[in-house]
Amino acid sequence: MVELAIIGSGFGGIGAGVMAIEQGIESFVILERAKAVGGTWRDNTYPGCACDIPSHLYSFSFAQNSAWSRSYPAQPEIEDYLERVTDNYRLHSRVRFGFDVAEVRWLQEQTCWSITSRAGDTVLASAVISATGPLSQPATPDFPGLSDFAGEAFHSASWRHDVSLDGKRVGVVGTGASAIQLVPAIADDVEHLDVFQRTPPWVLPRDDRPAPLWRRHLYRALPFLQRLHRWRIYARQEFLSLAFLGSGKIANAMTARIKEETKTLIDASFPDPEAAAALLPTFKPGCKRLLISNDWYSALAKPNVDVVTTSIERVDTTGITTSDGRHHELDVLVLATGFAVTDFPSPLTFIGRNGVNLAKHWEDGASTDFGITVSGFPNLWFLAGPGTGLGHNSIVFMIEVQLQQIGRALRYMRRESVATIELRQEVGDASYAELQRRVATTVWASGCSSWYQREDGRVDTIWPGTTTEYWWRARRFAPDRYLTTAGRFGQITPSR
């Protein structure tokens, strides 16, 4: 039995562990399905993997890292950073590795959560923070015949480092954030590369450069200068939101600039107008995630690379047949098809008060309060939950705001002798209605098909405002938004 169980050990889980220590919570555990911390930065090891937010901002404000080697460090450096934070706060002893959570069930009589692993192990906890994140479940397309492919086939999130690509005919399905990193990284190694494009992305230049040694020494000696740099990056990223949230002069000017910069990058590598046209998006910038790269188009222009714009009809033992009847011979098939970010809360099952399944509860919309709490699910909080995703800024900023809110709730519970808190249903309904009303006027509802959308077209993933507004509105814990029961937090009621 613990006071607090944290599910996942990526940015959210590690941050939650630090919050628990700062709250003085002695009894807590971090449940991690793998054998190491790091979350998506542990799992995604494909060639070229890096973050598209500068790491001086894509990092914890309480754990600044003066040693970043460049503006946009690669995956190993971010994973190492998370390992160091875990070490510095002595969290490794709190992590239970190999605990793959299958079900989280509220036990009404005992006033606690029962967390069961896929191996059948159980942990009881007075409160739960779910920090599995939106990028934990790869989305695998259901192509006819995919299981018949005789070569090696794998998702980019489960990269097969034992499979050599040298001299191979390789197919990459997708042109999203993973593809535009891995395609340039492997293009020179393969014999031939087919990139299967459903829709082309908007791509901006990547202002990536090595961090000089003098700057690293300066930031180590004078941390406040690094913090100023962090806020400069934050302000720049926050300004980008204006292109997504409205249709005024500033938004139109920013949209026009995005279009021009993408077209400039395309034209530099594809002077042929017909070839260039196939790579120019027709949807509004931001409707799908904006991507950044300096070598995406130059990689596509290589003589051994073909961009396939016709749809995939089927897969067979030797390759892919597209809708134009052409067969593409392949030795290796890479599915760079992203993640199932709208399948809340899969792959976990949450059973709340009165036996309500959270997936069923969210069938008509993932109603929450700031993506953190849900009616019918006492003492349960989410990090990077529904309605908190971003298209312009650092999700780590959002996670820290959410952790501050959770910390205030826990302090309130201990101070006021509250055993459980549960979001009022009318609050969750009103919050969700507002989110849907606001999303309808943003670029994410402008008509394209994206990973932000559910199958019915509803957008439950994105915060339809600035991160500054999110911080301002979520900065205080409001007890009147919750139902409470009296008692001592952390004390389980014996079952009858």
**Tens-digit pLDDT profile for residues 72-129:** 999 999 999 999 999 999 999 999 999 999 999 999 999 999 999 999 999 999 999 9
**pLDDT for residue 54:** 95
pLDDT tens, position by position, 418-434:
999 999 999 999 999 99
* Contact between 334 and 320 (Cβ < 8 Å): no
pLDDT bin (cut points 50, 70, 90) of residue 177 is very high
pLDDT bin (cut points 50, 70, 90) of residue 494 is low
* Contact between 462 and 444 (Cβ < 8 Å): yes
Residue owning tokens 């996942």: 8
Percent of the chain with pLDDT strictly greater than 70: 99
Q: How far is CA 287 from CA 147, 174, 204, 255, in A?
A: 32, 17, 15, 11
* Contact between 387 and 368 (Cβ < 8 Å): yes
258 vs 341, higher pLDDT: 258
How many whole angstroms separate alpha carbon 456 and alpha carbon 276? 32
**Which of 6-10, 101-105, 492-496 has the weakest average pLDDT?**
492-496
How many whole angstroms separate alpha carbon 496 and alpha carbon 377? 22
Helix (H, G, I), strand (E, B) or coil at 465: coil
Same fold for the pair 2-37+91-137+341-486 and 146-207+250-335 = yes
354, pLDDT greater than 50: yes
* Contact between 27 and 266 (Cβ < 8 Å): no
Cβ-based neighbours of 136, under 8 Å, separated by 6 or more? 8, 10, 39, 40, 43, 339, 347
**pLDDT for residue 49:** 96
Mean pLDDT of 334-344: 84
* Contact between 137 and 157 (Cβ < 8 Å): no
496, pLDDT greater than 50: no
Helix (H, G, I), strand (E, B) or coil at 172: strand
387, pLDDT greater than 80: yes
Give me the helix-helix angle, 11-22 and 75-88, nearest 10°: 20
188, pLDDT greater than 70: yes
Token pair for residue 463?
A: 């915060």
467, pLDDT greater than 80: yes
Topology classification of domain 2-37+91-137+341-486: FAD/NAD(P)-binding domain (3.50.50)
How many whole angstroms separate alpha carbon 59 and alpha carbon 18? 14
396 vs 287, higher pLDDT: 396
Say yes or no: domain 146-207+250-335 is CATH 3.40.50.300: no
- 211-229 burial by CB neighbour count: b if 16+ within 10 A, else e? beeeebeebeeeeeebeeb
pLDDT tens, position by position, 207-266:
999 999 999 999 999 999 999 999 999 999 998 888 888 777 888 888 899 999 999 999
C-alpha angle with apex 118: 84 to 396, nearest 5 degrees?
35
Instruction: Select, from the ranges 272-276, 315-319, 453-457, the one with the highest average predicted confidence (pLDDT).
Output: 315-319
User: Where do the structural domains in the chain lie, given as residue ranges?
Assistant: 2-37+91-137+341-486, 146-207+250-335
* Contact between 231 and 239 (Cβ < 8 Å): no
6, pLDDT greater than 90: yes
Token pair for residue 209?
A: 């450069």
- What is the Cα gyration radius of the chain? 23
